[in-house]
Each structure stands twice: as C-alpha cells, then as structure tokens.
Structure 1
Amino acid sequence: MSAKNIVIAGDYFNYRIGWTTGLVYIEDSKGYNIEDISKSNVEHYEIVTEESIKSASSAISRGLLGGFLLGPVGLLAGLSAKSKGIHTLAVQFKNGKKCLIEIDDKRYKEIIKRMF
C-alpha cells in the first residue's frame, strides 16, 4: 500500500499534498499551492507514531499533543498508515490552521529538510 499524500484530518481535509523539487505544499482541487509546508509557514509539526499516542494517554500529554491538533480521534486516524514508506505528520501552521497529513518517503524527507 502506498501513501495517499493527502490531508487525512483537520483543516484542509482531503486536500492533496503536492511536491516539486525543494517544495512540499497543500494544493487545492485545481492543483494550486495554497499552503507551503516549510519552516516559514509551520509553527510546529510532530511525527505521529504509536509512541506519541501512548504518551498522549496521560491528561497532561493529551492536552499538549492531542488537544494541540486534532484530539485523540484525529491522532488515532493517523495510525491507520503503518506501512513502510508511509508517514503521518501533525502540522500546525502559523496562521492557526492544523492538519494531519499522510505522505510518502519523498515528501517526508523534503519536509524534514525544509523544517531544519
């Protein structure tokens, strides 16, 4: 199974994740870039793993992580992508929008580079 390269929860739900050399972005239905996923636009991001869900079971962690983005239901939705080469990231943009994205290795590596 390959990554859907899509927003799976939150703001921009069902929008595609586009990629060009050096840039990963959320695109609208016509393929236009509406939000770069880069250090200049992203306030905070977190790689969603089973460990982050387990740590979110405490009230304090849930308030920081689960409430931060999409609540426990949104975070659990991200765990559906457990296959190798599929990554789930929780992203909070500087404009206040939040989303959970499922991406492939190519997009994941580019985002990590651009967030450094």
Structure 2
Amino acid sequence: MSIFGAKNKVTAGDYKDASVTMVNGQVTLAISLGNMIILNKKMVASHKVESETKGTHTVSVTFTDGKKSLLELDDKMCKALLEQLF
C-alpha cells in the first residue's frame, strides 16, 4: 500500500501494472494506449474482496477468458466496481 493511498492499479497477475480508471462512468483496465477492458459482468467471471484497510481495497478478479488479476483500489473505485459487477 502506498503512503498516498490506493494505487488503482493491477498489482499482480495478468495485466500487472495496468491502471484501473473510470471512463464514461465505467471501471476499466487501461492495458496500453487505446487498449482497455471494461470490468463488467460480460468480461469478469468472478471477483472477491480479499482485504480492506484504511481506504485501500484489494480485489481479485477472474476474467471470462481465465486470466486473473489482483487490483488495489481506493474507496470510490472499489464501490464503482462492485456496483458494476452486481
């Protein structure tokens, strides 16, 4: 965890170091310039909140293609992601 709060990044697994951003109200992974994955029910097979401490949430995500990522999110991004995947 950064002293500046959650990174809103992929910290492990597939897409490591990709940024987690909000685009047009949707939580996305910014893989590279112009290459994004919208984190929605169509793309994400399952997810689990692994830990929560002081505004930082660690969420594991399994994609429908079998890839897996561990995300570090702040409160706002975590809430948006969980609402999107509900």
- Name the SS for the 1:113 alignment partner: helix
Structure 2 match to 1:44: 46
Counterpart mapping for 1:1-116 below 5 A: 1=3, 2-30=5-33, 32-49=34-51, 83-116=53-86
Runs of 4+ in 1 over 2 A off after TM superposition: none
Separation (CA, whole Å) in 2 of partners of 1:18 and 1:33? 12
Question: SS in structure 2 opposite 1:87?
Answer: strand
Equivalences, count? 83
Mapped contact 1:25–1:33 kept (Cα < 8 A): no
* Letter aligned with residue 40 of structure 1: K
Give the root-mean-square deviation of aligned CA atoms. 1.5
The TM-score with structure 2 as length reference comes to 0.85
Gaps of 5+ in 2: none
CA–CA distance in 1 between the matches of 2:85 and 2:18? 21
1:92 & 1:28 partners in 2: Cα distance?
A: 16
Report the Cα distance in structure 1 between the residues aligned to 2:15 and 2:81, rounded to whole angstroms.
17
In structure 1, stretches of 5+ residues that fail to align are: 50-81
Question: Which of the pair has more CA radius of gyration?
Answer: 1
Question: TM-score, normalised on structure 1?
Answer: 0.65
